Amino acid sequence: MYQSFNSDKLNYLDFFFETADGFGGKGRSDKRKYVERKNIGKSNGDAFPEKGAYFGCISEGEENRGAYSDLCVVIFPSNEPEDADDRWLVALAVGSLGFKDDYDIVTLPGTRRLFIRKMYGDKANTFIKNDFLDVESNDGFKKFRVNNNFPETLSNAVKNYEKEILVSTIIDPNDKKASEDVIKRYLGLYATIREWPSNKNNRKKVKEALSVKNEALDEEKEIKKLLYQRKYIVLQGAPGTGKTRMAKQISRESNNVFFTQFHAETSYSDFIYGILPDVQEKELKYKDREGIFVKAIRAAQENTNEKVYLIIDEINRANLSNVLGPAFYLFEPNMSDGDVQIEICPNLSLRKLPDNLYVIATMNTADRSLAVIDFALRRRFAWYTMTPHEIKVGNGYEFCAKEFNAIRDIFEKYATDEEMNLQPGQAYFIVSRDNKEEEIHERLKYEIMPLIKEYLDNGMLSRSKDDFTNYFRNRIHEEMYK
């Protein structure tokens, strides 16, 4: 084993604890809010331990040696013969005694979500355990270790901790800036969940450490790309995320756009073809009626050089098997002319839908009165999730980012993956610039607060009740529960 450990590497030791202190880990009385742990460097005469080195901080109140409980941030260094071969591991881990005081923190969906969001830029080099309560399995981490070719001295350091590692990122200690950025992010996240920051300076440093620049997604471009590859897509998302608006925006380039909205009573005769009584005649007579689906097909057949769009709003509100009937078979994006011919209506039989016909459907993921979307239909459509996000608006309107972020932060902290589909979208927070305060006050009081209250009353987001109650009380001086 390599006993020497060069001084440049030891600089990370000082950097780690200085950063932790600057994030609020050290209070006014110089008392630390964490316990320092290290098995490397200065206290060991610059020796590198044979069984592997580490340094980090554990929960306040734990002992400074021996087994411990709860969450910690730890760095496992390597010490290869050639410095260029070194790879270190920064990790969020659990002490071998399991959970004592951090059970509530770990069971919050927002704890894991924080690391997913803030480590996204390093996702190729990062492992995040699917269940933060799982300290019994190590399959995921073992695969991560093998795929990243851990050097020998690093493998020796982590082999006894594989089950307890919840999040970890590989860093190259020779790249000082990149390594320090990752270390700061881990400590910033740890400071956040531990609520270390106690003054403006602490909070500023943590905010800077967690400020990760993600490339802005051109949502319209992404959806168009998916649509032209797959032909039939569903835009799904929470209310107010702009699903219908996006569908109309994409189709505006065409003169042939067909729009319908499904509901519980929508039938085959409404959407495709039916025979109805002619109420204009004195005697009982019947006439046929082509639905909007047939009209879109005929338009595509007559305008082969132009894209034809069919928009189906709220596709999940109807009984789709009844509405589509045998036409269901035709919704196959890569279908070639085959032997099977489907009769849509008199004088219209198809082996495939026209190549220039594109279907954009929308689905509200917060709607709990939904028809079941079966797996066969899911396979035929591509699914794109539109999530609430900050937007820029003009023409006399303003987006209330402060209010949007306050609601979003509570959802991020408490909502399960399924409950994230309930988060009010950006449309709720667009108000006129001239009457901004009055409009956002009314929007919060008469739209958003009742919506949140309904969620809570139906057993959703249960742990967020106090946070939402306090937010509405402080922001609009209204009590959600009186």
Q: Tens digits of per-residue pLDDT, 196-241? A: 999 999 999 999 999 876 666 688 999 999 999 999 999 999 889 9
What pTM was estimated for this model as a whole?
0.83
Condensed to tens digits (0 to 9), the pLDDT of residues 180-197 reads 999 999 999 999 999 999
Structure letter (DSSP) for residue 305: T
Q: What is the mean pLDDT of the chain?
A: 89
User: How far, in Å, CA of 311 to CA of 243, rounded?
Assistant: 11
Does residue 388 register a pLDDT over 80? yes
CA angle 10, 191, 59 (to 5 degrees): 80
User: How far, in Å, CA of 247 to CA of 127, rounded?
Assistant: 36
- Name 261's bridge partners: 313
Structure letter (DSSP) for residue 365: T
**pLDDT value at position 1?**
39
pLDDT band at 2; cut points 50, 70, 90: very low
Q: Which helix (H) or strand (E) covers residue 37, if one does?
A: strand 34-38
pLDDT average, residue stretch 102-110? 95
Condensed to tens digits (0 to 9), the pLDDT of residues 155-171 reads 988 988 999 999 999 99
User: How far, in Å, CA of 384 to CA of 100, rounded?
Assistant: 40
User: How far, in Å, CA of 401 to CA of 396, rounded?
Assistant: 16
